[in-house]
Amino acid sequence: MPKKKNQCRLNTGDFSINDSANAPKPVSRVKKSTTVENVPPELSWDEIPDDDFDIVEEVNSDGTKNFVYKKKKRSTKCEQENIEDRPGIEYPEIVWYLISKYIKPEDIGRFAGINKVTYAITKRESFWRELYSRYCEHSRSLPASLRLENSFKYYGLRQRVIRALHYTYDVFTKRVVVLSAHDSRPHELVRRRCVNVWYLKCNSYWVVYFKFKKIHPLQKNESSIAVDFIEELGRIDANPEEDSKVLQVTSINFCQVPPLMGMTLSSVSVVLSPGFRHHRMQLGFNSGVHNISRDILPECSVVLDTVLKIAVHDWWNPKYPYFDNQLPTRDEESKPVLKESFFTSCDTDLG
């Protein structure tokens, strides 16, 4: 087919300086057929990103080996879809069980998130007892209440081992020291419900404890759920102190605190007291969770003056107060508060 006289030939080359300044003939404008493309600048070998190239070993004809950079092949959309459809490799449960014996305490959460088998392994008694025997069994700093040598209770085993690790494991003990050195941040307790308040009298100061628990609005009421008592005793992961924190306030003078159980903390204010020697702490409480806002005044306010120290303890912290089921005792005689002749006097009255 003969070519037309006025047919222009398309130029798909790059637009260079020879088409304008160094052209043999003056050029008034660029032809429409000429396409301009942005040419990326040439990069040196140390500026090339490693993600675009692979190191490939090549063997020459004389037997010598060379390592050459070769550009990676971009996977197409179909190849990516095929990779997602692959089922993967399922290892037997015994493999994960053997690996679990070498998991460090700070990696337990990542190990439990691999698959369902690893999550089920972290729910077993043998897993936590193995962890206790590796890091806590022969430690002298561990209190007697957390020792498991003569304890065969299943309930709350995970909680006791985690608390024991914060006494004996170096990574956790250093973390506790770092957290205690920083600001306690009592403002993080806002929107938590107060469940208990108690005092402690020391030699020259008073300590007030406020126990707060995190509120889950979408969670069902625990009292309305029927719980099997036998099944509950076998829960290794049971932790009654979950989502609980204790605010410890140390002050010189005694501060009367009204009943606050069931109320929600709405505001926290810490300022310098008159004289600039101590701090003054003000806590605001409201009756409901939804009545917490900067524009709503607190229904009840607690002011603690001459404050020396403020600390917030999580349930795993060694300074978190735990109570054992023991009779209250006198400080001077270390005997029960009940009189020795109490039962004798009762028998006399009955007779």
Q: Give the mean pLDDT of 3-22.
A: 58
Q: Between these two residues, 30 and 57, which has the higher pLDDT value?
A: 57
339 pLDDT band (50/70/90 cuts)?
very low
| Tally of domains in the chain | 2
Contact 307, 251 (CB under 8 A): yes
Residues 207 and 342 grouped into a single domain: yes
Residue 66 lies in a domain: no
The mean pLDDT value for 283-291 works out to 81
Whether residue 7 lies inside any domain: the answer is no
Answer whether residue 269 is part of any domain: yes
> For residue 28, is it within any domain?
no
The reply to whether 134 and 203 lie within a common domain is: no
Same domain? 269 vs 319:
yes
**210 with 259, same domain?**
yes
- pLDDT at residue 145 in the model: 86
Average pLDDT over residues 331-335: 41
* Predicted model pTM: 0.64
Same domain for 143 and 205, yes or no, is: no
For the stretch 152-206, pLDDT in tens is 788 889 999 999 999 999 999 999 888 887 777 888 898 899 999 998 888 888 9
3-state DSSP assignment of residue 330:
coil
pLDDT mean over 232-244: 85
How many percent of the chain have pLDDT more than 90? 28
- The letter for the amino acid at 49 is P
Average pLDDT score over residue span 246-260: 89
Based on the fold, state whether residues 157 and 190 are members of the same structural domain. no
The chain-wide mean pLDDT, for the chain, equals 76
Over residues 272-284, mean pLDDT: 88
Q: What is the model's pLDDT at position 233? A: 78
> Of 163, 125, 133, which Cα lies nearest the Cα of 149?
133
- What value does the mean pLDDT take over residues 275-302? 82
Q: Is residue 327 predicted with pLDDT exceeding 60?
A: no
Full residue range of the structural domain in which residue 137 is found: 93-180
Residue 326: the pLDDT is 39
The CA distance from 160 to 338, in Å, is 32
Instruction: Identify whether residues 195 and 157 lie together within a single domain.
Output: no
Q: How many Cα atoms sit within 13 Å of 76 on the Cβ side?
A: 2
Element (H, E) at 342: helix 342-350
198 and 171 in one domain? no
Q: Report if residue 58 sits inside a domain.
A: no
Most confident of 75-89, 96-110, 207-221, 274-288: 96-110
Residues 169 and 237 in one domain: no
Percent of the chain with pLDDT over 70: 65
In a domain, 100, yes or no: yes
Per-residue pLDDT for 239 more than 70?
A: yes
Supply the pLDDT for residue 172: 92
Domain of residue 112, CATH code:
1.20.1280
Same-domain pairing of 106 and 203: no
Q: What DSSP assignment string belongs to 288-327?
A: SSTT--TTSPPSEEEEEEEEEEEEEEETTSTTS----S--
